[in-house]
Structure formats: structure tokens, C-alpha cells
């Protein structure tokens, strides 16, 4: 079946209202990261990845993008040493990298080596983090990444109130709505649902203590046909967390749809959206909010068409000539009339050429043949078709001896995947005993079961569910 649709949807966390002002890098700015390594980090995200795997990826990219000077960054991890439920699990919070310079190697290694297995002592971790900062002036910031609420009966609100002179920013990772709402009432809070969104949230959390985005340029065609690929040339800092994205022209800064890390090369290859209109290429970063460069592009309409027969015999294979951009993930399908965009039954990818072949369902009635795509919602071409009965005739003896061989004559579609079988009367569709494929001609030879009783000869197919035709036969 077509893979899960690659929808270019906006993650809930990446909205921002323009370029946020970033403070000049403060002398003596200190940032302590607190990473949740509790056992629940082995739960899976919607994309199928483990939370801990995605969090390590996002933290690693964030660490790579930190400035080399003017900042002191430490790392505390809870839940990585003692299994939840074991003695000491609620005291399991350790400062693994002290607040001294930006030791990227130590930070990366500590994140990658963390094992998710313990509890969630948030209040304790905040109290201990407050003591990790050196005395004196300078900005002090704690960034907590957690996938759940306090699990050790600690008073998180009291721990937050005790953070005198220390900012706290909380990033919830794949939280349920109730936990997210609880954190919103405690501190500056963001929510991330995947690794990309978590990286962006980390960048926004430290935006006031890291340098703003530097200058960048983007070069690409001004007009691009819908669905076609095109190249984007760029210049910029090429920070590990910098990326180029293609969004609607009126999208808020920070939004991303289709995107590529700049570290993936120059030029970058994009695929134009299937919906025509005004769009914008943007050079952005998960390291800090803002847009370093913009380039307007106009996506031009192209012709989409599908040309199936208007009447099709149910259960048969039919050809569909088509016209369209033939982009990655584009496909032709047949669906019941009125089904929502993205629905599909039999399908073929446009990359397989025109015309392609579809298998009509056995259920008769009103259907549509459509041009759709895995990468973008929409019905880009649709033609109504009617499925009408197909004539299948089966000829066989009224009765046969148990275990004997007998002939079945037939007429019908005769597709490569069609077959004829004998089964118990009343057996579900798709059941089979002795069988042969229709491609082997008519008549076919079947073997009667050894057990006497009421049976059926059936014409069925691997292409579609259901039974085309059936004929009773008795085994004596």
C-alpha cells in the first residue's frame, strides 16, 4: 500500500511571531540542560521512533550549534542510573558535565551514553541544578526537557519558586495534554512532538544567550512548475542546525514544511508543491529564532488528468492513462465515490509509467479514479467511473467421489492472479482447498476433498477480495 502519507504539516511547537530579538551575548551566561532519561523515554513517538532516540538526536544537533565562546553550558541527567521502582530511583539525578565553558565532546558523549530506565525526580533535579551554578553575576538559565510530570512526590512548584535569579524554561517532549497543561501553569513552556521540533524548541529556549543568525543568501528560480524538482543555492554560516525550508508566502517566521539541513549539501534539491501559488524559501535555524534569508517563488499550475474507461467490470484489471508532474510519491488509485482525499484501494505509482493498471473492486457502484500524492494532501484529478457486473461461468459435475480428480470449465476475466478452488459450502471469501490458476486455461483439474459433504466451486482472485462466482458441488 502507499506508505504513510508524507504530509508537510506544521508541528505545534514551531510557530513564532516574527524574528525574536536576541540579547547580545552576555559575559558569564550560564545554561544548564536537564535531560529526562526516565523509563518512559522508551515510549514511541507518532513517527515510530523511541523518544530517547529522537531526544538524543535533537540534543546532539543543538550542542553542535552552540557558540564556542562566551557561554558556560552544563548537563544534568535524571533517571539514567537506577531503574524505576528500585531504591534510590527518586534520588537519581547527576550533574554529568559541569558549567565550565562549552565542552561539546563531553556534552555529546553524555547525551549519547544516557540510558533511559529510571524515574522522574524533577523537583530534586531543579533544587540540585540551582546549586550547580557558580555564585556571582551573569545570566543563569535552566532548560528542562521532560516527557512526563514529577514521579517522586516532589514539590515542583516550590522548587521553581526557589530558583532565585535563575530563569527556567521547560520543554515537554511528546506529553499528553493534561501534563502539558500542568507545565504551562508553572513556567515558560513549549511542547515538541518530534526530534525536529525539539531541536527548534531548544534553540528558542537559549535565544537570549546565543548570537543571532548571521547573514545568508538563497538563490533559486522565481517560477517553478508544480510538482517539479529544483535546486536551491545558499550561502550562510552553515551551522549544524541551520536549514532551508519552503513554506507558503504568508506563513509565520519559524514555520517549516519541506526542509533540508544546509549541511546536506549545496545546492539543495526541493520538490515544488502540487498546489500552485506564492511560496517562500527561508534560511532558518534550530539554534536561534529568526529568518536569515528569504527568496520568493511562484509555483505554476500544471495539468493533471486521468483517463480511465467510464464503465468497468467489477473485479477486472483496467488501464488508466494519466498526465501530471510524476513527482515522488504520486500515484493513481480507484476509490468509492466521495471518499476523502488520501483514500485508496488498488493503486499504482506514476513512476511506473502511463498507462498504469488498476484492479476494480468486486463491489459494484459509483467510484472515482484519482491522481493523488503521498507527500501532499489533495485530489489533483478525478474521473467518475461505474463498476458493472462481470460475467463468470463455472461448469462442473453436480457431484464427485471423495478424493477424486475432476474438471472445471470456466469463462471469465482470466487474469494472471485469478484462481478456481473447491471449498466447504459457507466458507469465508478467500478460503481455498484444491485450486488452480485461471492462467492455466480451461478446463482446470481439481481434487475433491476426502471428507464427503456440501462444497462449492469458486472463482476468486489475489487481486481483490471477494468471490466472483460460485457453484455448488457435492462430494460423495
End-to-end CA distance of the chain: 43
What is the H or E stretch that residue 181 is in?
helix 177-184
Give the pLDDT score at 138.
82
To the nearest 10 degrees (0 to 180), the angle between helices 195-205 and 51-64 is: 40
- Sheet strand arrangement including 277-285: 223-225, 293-300, 277-285, 242-248, 258-261
Give the pLDDT score at 80.
95
Grid look-up 515542583 returns: 156
Q: Are 267 and 233 within 8 A, CB to CB? A: yes
CA 452, distance to chain mean position in Å, is: 53
Grid look-up 538563497 returns: 218
Local confidence band at 271 (pLDDT 50, 70, 90 cut-offs):
very high
Is domain 393-475 annotated with CATH 2.60.40.1930?
A: yes
Query: Would the pLDDT of 126 be above 50?
Result: yes
Q: Are 320 and 369 within 8 A, CB to CB? A: yes
Topology of domain 217-300 in CATH is Immunoglobulin-like (2.60.40)
Q: Are 276 and 351 within 8 A, CB to CB? A: no
Model confidence, pTM: 0.58
The conformational region for residue 199 under phi > 0 = left, psi -120 to 50 = alpha, else beta, is alpha
pLDDT digits (tens, 9 = 90+) for 103-123: 999 999 999 999 999 999 999
Q: Are 138 and 30 within 8 A, CB to CB? A: yes
Of the candidate CATH numbers 2.30.42.10, 3.40.50.2300, 2.60.40.1930, 3.10.450.50, the domain formed by 305-388 belongs to 2.60.40.1930
Q: Are 418 and 390 within 8 A, CB to CB? A: no
The reply to whether domains 305-388 and 393-475 share a CATH topology is yes
Least confident residue range of 261-270, 332-341, 413-422: 413-422
Three-state DSSP at 40 gives helix
How many CA atoms lie within 13 Å of 86's alpha carbon, on the beta-carbon side?
Answer: 11
pLDDT digits (tens, 9 = 90+) for 375-431: 899 999 999 999 998 889 999 999 999 999 999 999 988 888 899 999 999 999 999
Give the pLDDT score at 9.
28
Give the CATH number of domain 29-209: 3.40.50.410
CB atoms under 10 Å from CB of 426, counted, come to: 9
For residue 253, CA distances in Å to 197, 218, 280, 290 come to 14, 16, 11, 7
* Contacting residues for 325 by C-beta, under 8 A, at least 6 apart: 225, 226, 227, 228, 272, 274, 302, 304
Question: Domain extents for the chain?
Answer: 29-209, 217-300, 305-388, 393-475
Dihedral, CA atoms, 60, 65, 70, 74, nearest 10 degrees? -10
pLDDT digits (tens, 9 = 90+) for 52-77: 999 999 999 889 888 877 789 999 99
- How many residues belong to the chain? 476
Pairing, β 188-192 against β 167-173: parallel
DSSP state of 344: -
Return the closest-CA partner of residue 109 out of 33, 56, 38. 56
Query: Would the pLDDT of 15 be above 90?
Result: no
Amino acid at each position: 500500500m502507499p506508505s504513510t502519507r508524507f504530509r508537510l504539516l506544521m508541528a505545534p511547537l514551531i510557530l513564532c511571531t516574527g524574528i525574536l530579538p536576541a540579547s547580545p551575548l552576555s559575559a558569564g551566561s550560564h545554561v544548564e540542560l536537564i535531560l529526562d532519561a526516565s523509563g518512559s523515554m522508551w515510549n514511541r513517538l507518532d513517527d515510530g521512533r523511541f523518544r530517547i532516540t529522537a531526544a538524543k538526536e535533537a540534543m546532539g544537533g543543538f550542542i553542535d550549534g552552540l557558540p564556542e565562546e562566551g557561554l558556560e553550558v552544563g548537563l544534568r541527567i535524571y533517571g539514567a542510573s537506577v531503574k524505576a521502582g528500585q531504591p534510590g530511583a527518586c534520588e537519581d539525578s547527576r550533574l554529568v558535565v559541569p558549567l565550565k565553558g562549552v565542552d561539546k565532546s563531553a556534552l555529546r558523549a553524555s547525551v549519547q551514553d544516557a540510558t533511559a530506565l529510571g524515574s522522574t525526580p524533577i523537583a530534586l533535579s531543579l533544587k540540585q541544578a540551582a546549586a550547580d551554578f557558580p555564585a556571582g553575576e551573569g545570566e543563569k538559565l535552566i532548560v528542562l526537557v521532560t516527557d512526563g510530570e514529577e514521579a517522586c512526590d516532589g514539590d515542583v512548584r516550590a522548587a521553581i519558586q526557589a530558583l532565585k535569579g535563575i530563569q527556567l524554561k521547560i520543554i515537554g517532549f511528546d506529553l499528553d495534554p493534561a501534563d502539558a497543561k500542568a507545565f504551562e501553569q508553572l513556567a515558560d513552556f513549549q511542547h515538541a512532538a518530534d526530534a525536529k521540533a525539539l531541536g527548534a524548541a531548544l534553540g528558542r529556549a537559549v535565544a537570549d544567550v546565543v548570537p543571532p543568525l548571521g547573514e545568508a543568501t538563497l538563490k533559486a528560480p522565481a517560477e517553478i512548475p508544480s510538482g517539479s524538482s529544483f535546486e536551491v543555492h545558499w550561502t550562510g554560516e552553515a551551522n549544524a542546525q541551520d536549514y532551508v525550508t519552503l513554506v507558503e508566502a504568508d506563513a509565520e517566521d519559524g514555520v517549516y514544511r519541506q526542509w533540508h539541513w544546509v549541511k546536506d549539501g549545496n545546492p539543495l534539491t526541493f520538490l515544488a508543491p502540487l498546489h500552485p501559488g506564492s511560496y517562500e524559501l527561508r534560511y532558518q535555524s534550530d539554534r536561534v529564532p529568526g529568518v536569515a534569508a528569504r527568496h520568493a517563488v511562484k509555483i505554476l499550475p500544471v495539468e493533471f488528468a486521468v483517463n480511465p474507461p467510464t464503465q468497468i467490470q467489477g473485479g477486472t484489471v483496467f488501464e488508466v492513462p494519466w498526465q501530471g508532474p510524476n513527482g515522488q510519491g504520486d500515484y493513481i488509485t480507484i476509490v468509492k465515490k466521495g471518499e476523502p482525499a488520501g483514500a485508496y484501494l488498488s493503486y499504482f505509482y506514476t513512476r511506473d509509467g502511463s498507462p498504469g493498471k488498476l484492479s476494480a473492486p468486486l463491489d459494484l457502484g459509483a467510484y472515482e479514479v484519482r491522481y493523488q500524492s503521498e507527500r501532499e494532501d489533495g485530489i489533483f484529478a478525478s474521473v467518475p467511473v461505474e463498476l458493472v457486473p462481470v460475467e463468470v461461468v463455472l461448469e462442473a459435475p453436480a457431484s464427485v467421489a471423495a478424493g477424486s480428480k475432476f474438471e472445471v470449465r470456466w469463462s471469465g476475466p482470466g487474469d494472471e492472479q485469478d484462481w478456481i478452488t473447491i471449498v466447504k459450502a459457507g466458507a469465508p471469501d478467500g478460503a481455498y482447498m484444491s485450486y488452480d490458476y485461471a492462467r492455466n486455461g480451461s478446463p482446470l483439474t481439481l481434487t475433491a476433498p476426502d471428507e464427503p459433504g456440501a462444497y462449492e466451486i469458486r472463482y476468486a482472485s489475489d487481486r481483490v477480495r471477494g468471490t466472483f462466482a460460485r457453484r455448488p458441488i457435492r462430494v460423495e
